[in-house]
Amino acid sequence: MKKTTTRRTQAISALTIAGLTLAATLAGSLPASAATERGDESYRPAIHYTPMKNWMNDPNGLVFYKGVYHMYYQHNPSGNTWGNMSWGHATSKDLVHWQEQPLAISTDDQEDVFSGSIVVDKGNTTGFGTPENPALVAIYTSAYKDASPHRGLQAQSLAYSLDDGQTWTKYSQNPVVSRNTANFRDPKVFWYTTPDGGGYWIMTAVEAQEHKVVLYKSGNLKDWTALSEFGPANATGGQWECPDLFPLAVDGDTANIKWVMVVNINPGGVAGGSAGQYFVGSFDGTTFTSETTRPAATLPAGTVLAGFNDGSYNGWTVNNEPGNRFNGPFGTSPAAGALPGQQGVSGFSGAGLVNSFIDHDWAIGTMKSPAFTVSEDYLNFLVGGGNHPHSGSRLDNSPPPGELLFDGFEVPAGATLADSGWTGVGDLAPQFQPFGGGSDYAIGAHLINTFETNGGGDEKQGSLTSPEFTITKSNLSMLVGGGKRLNDPTQVLAVELLVNGEVKRSVSGENAGALNWKSWDVAEFQGQQARIRVVDQATGGWGHVTVDHVMQTDAPAVPRSDETTVNLEVDGQVVRTATGSDSETLDLASWNVKEFAGRQARISIIDNNRAGWGHILADEFMLSPEPAHSTLESYDWLDYGRDYYAAVSFGNMPENKRVMLGWMNNWDYANDIPTSPWRSATALPREVKLTQTPEGPRLSQSPVKQVDKLAAKASYTDKVGGPIPAGAQQLPAAASGQVQRVDIKFAPGTAKKSGITVLGDGNSSTLIGYDATTGKIFVDRTRSGNTAFNATFASIEDAPVTLDTSGNVTLRIYLDHSSVEVFTQDGLQTITDQVFPTAGADKMALFSEGGTAQLKSLTVTPLDM
C-alpha cells in the first residue's frame, strides 16, 4: 500500500493565471515567484482549468462531496507530455474557481494509474470507513509495468480516502476486476437502486480495441460479477474509452426516464481523431439497450464502376511494392474482409473490397482504375482505413537536383564522422556517428541517428556539429525523422543551421520513424560560411532525431506524401481526394463531379504510408444523380469539434443534476500544442439534459450557470442589426477581447457563408459561421494563428443545424485566449476547438461570402473571474 502525503495547497484559479503578459516574462520584469505561482504564459486560459505545470488529460473521479466539487485528472507530475500517469487533483465550490491540490494517487514501480471514477460509499459497503465517516473510493485502471507480475495487462483497482479526498491508500488486494487483457480500462461506477428499494454498484468499463462496454455489479466494490456487454455499435474507429451510463428525464418529465450511454472514441471521431459519442436507450439493472444504434447506410442507386465482388480487380492497374514478401499492400485480388492481424473490417458491400493491409501497415503501393466518362453529378463510394490525406504528387523519396553535402554520411568501412572534421559532445561525440543500419526512407546505408549512438536509446543526449561549408544556393534540403520537442526549452531536439555561430534555422522530426524532406530558405546567407548542428537534449518517447542527405538546392525539396487516399484524377491531376478516419469501418463518401461532366477520369487508390493506420479500405464506386451521406456524421456526438474528449459526469450531485466535464484536446496533436509549462485544459463544465426532438430524445448541453455568473456588463450590443455585405466588416474596439461570451443571431440570406470572426489581428482570425451549401455551422481555424506545430491541426469543423422558422442561426460562443466553444439550437449541437492566436489578436468582424447576410442581433459580454 502507498499513502500520499499532504503538502501546502497552492491556488491556481483562472483569475490568477490570466492577467500577466508573456512580454513581461521575456523582459524579466516580474519576480521569479510571480512567474512561477501566478502563470503569465501565452495561451493560458482564464476561465478553464489548467494545472499550474505539466501534462494533464482525462478528467477522473469527478465527485461532489460536502459542498465541494472534486476533479481528479490524468497527470504527469514530472513532465509536459504524456507519461508517469497519476491522478492530479483540484477542488472548487462553484465549478468555475478551481484550486489545485497535492498529487492524489501516484504512479509507482508496479503500475501507472489510468482513468477511473470516485464514489461516496455512504453505506460503508467496503468497510474502508464508517457510516458516520464514509470513505471516498476511487476505482481506477492499473496499467501494469514490467516490474509487476501482471505486466502488460490492465485491470481495475481501488484506493480510498478518509480525509475528504486529500490523501489516498491503495487497497492491498488490488486488482479487484481483471479479464487478463491488455486494454480493459476506464471504470465508471455508480449506485443502481432496484425497484424494491435495494441496490448495488454498477461498473461500466471498456475492452477498448473490441469496441465493447462491459458491465459488472458488486455489493461491496471489491467482488464483481459480470452482467452484460454493449457494442460494437455506431462509430468503431480506433479504440473505445471512458464510458459513462446515467439516467435523464426527457424534458424534465420524471415519468419518462431514458438512459444515456456515453462512449468516447479515439481515433475515428466525427471531426477526426478524438471525440465522444452517445446512445439513448434503457437499462434494467443488467443490460443497456440502445434505441439510437444506426444500421449500416446504403449507397444511392447508380452506375457501378467497381464493386470488387467477382474475385478480381477487373482491369485496374495494381502496383504493389517490389520485393514485398506478401505482394502487398493490395495483392492480386480483392480481400473478403479483414486480413491476418487486422481488427474486424465492416461497412463494405458484397463479397470483396480493396484492403491494403497485406503485410500489415508496412507495404506501399498504388491502384488505378480504367478510364471512365463522368456521366452523373456524383461519384459515391465507401472508404475506411487510415487518416492520411493527400498532400502532394510525390510518392518517392528520391533526392532533388543539387549539391550533396558531407557525402550523404556514406563513410568508408571503419570510419566515423570524426575522420571528416565533425565535432561533438556527450553521446553525440563524432566517433559514435554515423549509424550504418539504414532507416525508413533513408538514402544509402548511413545517416545520423541520435537513438543509435553510444549504446543506443532515447535517453542519449549531446550535440554534433559539422565542419564549415559555404552556402551556394537558395535552399538547404535534407531528410529528417524522429521526434519533435518544439514547446519545451529543456528538451531541445533539432537540426540547426549555424551562421557566424548563431542559430538561424531549426527543424525537427514529426514523431515518426520515416524520414521526409524538409527545407530551409537560406538565400539571405548565400556566400557565407555555415555549419549544421544536431542537438539532442530530449529524453523519453521519440527523444531522438534522424538526419540524412543534406543538400544545397535551387528550389526546396518536395516532401513525400504519406497518404492513404482515394483520389479522382482528370487529365492526370488529382481533383478530388478522400481518406479514412483511422477506422476499420468503411463510411460513405461523395464527390460532386458536375464540373467534369462528359470528361474522362480515373480513380486512384494510394497507400504510401508505413506507420500506424498505414492502410486504406475502399469499395463500391458508383456514379449517381444523388449524393451519399456520411454514416459517421449521422451518429450522435457530444461535440462536433476536435477538442472535446474523455467527457464523463460528476457523481453524487445535488438535485440529480448531470454535469459533464471533458478534456479540451485531441490525441492527434495533444503532445504538441504550444503551451508551457503546462499542457492541456478542461472544457467548460456542461449541464446535460435530454430534449425531445423529431428523431427522439437527444442530449442538449449548456455551460453550468456559474459560468454565466462571470459575465460583466456587455461591452458591445447591436440589437438593430443590418445587412452584412460580402467581405469582412470590422466591429468597433468595444467588441474586442479574448475572454468573452458572444451571442449572435443572423440570417444567411443570399450568402454562401456568413458569420463572425474572432481573435483576429488583421492577418489571422478564427471564423465561426454558417455554410448554406451544407446546412452546417462551422469553426474554421486554418488561419487562426499558430497552426504549424502539427500537420493535423489546421482544420474546419462543422455540425448540422436547422434554421429557425424565421430563417435565422443563433450562436452562443465562449472565447478564452486559446479556445472557442460554440453552442446552437439550444445546445443540441456544439463545437469545441482549441486555437492559438497571434499575440494580442482580439479583434472581431462580421463576414459574408457569395452574397449578403443579415445581422439580427449581437451582444459581446466580457467574462471576468
Beta bridge partners of 232: none
Which of 270, 185, 205 lies closest to 582 in space, CA to CA? 270
The one-letter code for the residue type at 777 is: I
Residue 640 near residue 798 (C-beta atoms within 8 A): yes
Active-site residue flag, 643: no
Q: Are strands 678-679 and 54-65 parallel, antiparallel or unpaired?
A: parallel
- Distance (Å, whole) CA 570 – CA 554: 30
CA distances from 695 to 288, 687, 827 (A): 20, 21, 16
Helix residue ranges, H only, 478-548: none
| Measured distance CA(13)–CA(818) in Å, rounded | 17
What DSSP letter does each residue of 534-603 carry, written as one string?
EEE---STT--EEEEEEEEESSPPPPP---EEEEEEETTEEEEEEE--SEEEEEEEEEE-GGGTT-EEEE
The DSSP line for 179-203 is EEESSEEEEEEEEEE-TTS-EEEEE
3-state helix, strand, coil in the chain (%, to 5): 5, 45, 50
CB 119 within 8 A of CB 201: yes
Residue whose C-alpha is closest to residue 92's, from 783, 812, 707, 711: 707
Which of 561, 528, 587, 665 lies closest to 43 in space, CA to CA?
Answer: 665
* Torsion from C-alpha of 376, 574, 570, 336, nearest 10 degrees: -60
Q: 40, 58, 427, 816: which is the annotated catalytic residue?
A: 58
Q: Quick check: bond before 31 cis, omega within 30?
A: no
* C-alpha cell recorded at residue 116: 477511473
H, E, C per residue of 835-862: CCCCCCCCEEEEEEECCCEEEEEEEEEE
The candidate with the shortest Cα–Cα distance to 466, out of 495, 508, 437, is 495
Non-local CB neighbours of 720 within 8 Å, separated by 6+ positions: none
Question: What are the beta bridge partners of residue 536?
Answer: 462, 493
For residue 517, CA distances in Å to 199, 347, 657 come to 62, 36, 53
Q: How far apart are CA 450 and CA 426, in angstroms?
A: 11
Return all residues near 808 (Cβ < 8 A) that are at least 6 apart. 745, 746, 747, 856
How does 635-648 read in b/e, with b if 16+ C-beta sit within 10 Å? bbbbbbbbbbbbbb
> CB burial class (10 A; 0-12, 13-18, 19+) of residue 395?
middle
Tell me which DSSP letter residue 353 carries.
Answer: B
Q: Give the CA distances from residue 564 to residues 329, 448, 602, in Å, rounded to whole numbers and listed in that order.
A: 11, 28, 17
Dihedral sign of CA atoms 215, 153, 221, 91 in order: negative
Contacts for 331-338: CB closer than 8 Å, 24+ residues apart: 331/358, 334/308, 334/309, 338/584
- 33: Cβ–Cβ under 8 A, 6 or more apart, which residues? none
Distances (CA, A) of 777 to 159, 292, 852: 44, 23, 17
Grid coordinates given for 799: 455540425
Nearest to 824 by CA among 838, 839, 844, 808: 808
Please identify every residue annotated as catalytic: 58
